[in-house]
Amino acid sequence: MAEKQNPEMNGRGGSLLRRMEVFQICDSTFPIGTFNHSFGMENYLRDNRIRKAPQFRVWITNYYRSQFQYGEGLLTILCFRAIEAGEPEKIAAYDDLLTRSTLALETRNGTKLIAKQMLTLVKKIHEGSIPHLCSYEEAIKTGRAFGNPAAVFAIFAHASGMTEEETFLMYGYSVASTLVQNAVRSIPLGQKEGQLILREIIDLLGDLYEKATVLDESMLGASSPGLELAQICHETQEARLFMS
Task: List, for residues 13-29, the tens digit of each pLDDT value.
Answer: 457 777 788 878 888 77
> Is 78 inside any structural domain?
yes
Q: Bigger pLDDT: 137 or 243?
A: 137
- Domain membership of residue 223 as a residue range: 35-236
Q: How far, in Å, CA of 26 to CA of 168, rounded?
A: 12
Q: What is the mean pLDDT of the chain?
A: 88
Count other C-beta atoms under 10 Å from residue 159's C-beta: 20
* pLDDT (0 to 100) of residue 14: 59
Residue 229 is assigned to a structural domain of this protein: yes
- Give, to the nearest 10 degrees, the angle between helix 149-159 and helix 74-84: 40
Residue 32 is predicted with a pLDDT of 78
pLDDT in tens, 196-210: 999 999 999 999 999
Kindly tell me if the per-residue pLDDT of 61 is higher than 80.
Answer: yes
Q: Which range has the worst mean pLDDT, 5-9, 57-61, 190-194?
A: 5-9
- For residue 9, pLDDT over 50 is answered with no
Q: What confidence category does residue 4 fall into, taking pLDDT thresholds of 50, 70 and 90?
A: very low
Does any domain span residue 128?
A: yes
Q: Stretch 76-96: mean pLDDT, rounded? A: 97
Q: What is the CATH number of the domain that holds 215?
A: 1.10.4190.10
CA–CA–CA angle 4, 8, 9 (5° rounding): 70
Residue 172 lies in a domain: yes
Report yes or no on 104 lying in a domain: yes
CA distance 32 to 84: 27
Is 4 among the domain residues? no
Q: Are 151 and 75 in contact (CB under 8 A)?
A: yes
- Count CB-CB contacts under 10 A for residue 27: 12
Give mean pLDDT, residues 66-81.
97
Residue 8 has pLDDT above 60, yes or no: no
Q: What is the pLDDT of residue 3?
A: 41
Flag whether 20 is in a domain: no
Lowest-confidence pick of 10-19, 46-55, 173-182: 10-19
Residue-wise DSSP of 161-222: T--HHHHHHHHHHHHHHHHHHHHHHHTT--HHHHHHHHHHHHHHHHHHHHHHTT--GGGTT-
Structural domains counted in the chain = 1
Specify if 2 maps to a domain. no
pLDDT at 127 over 80: no
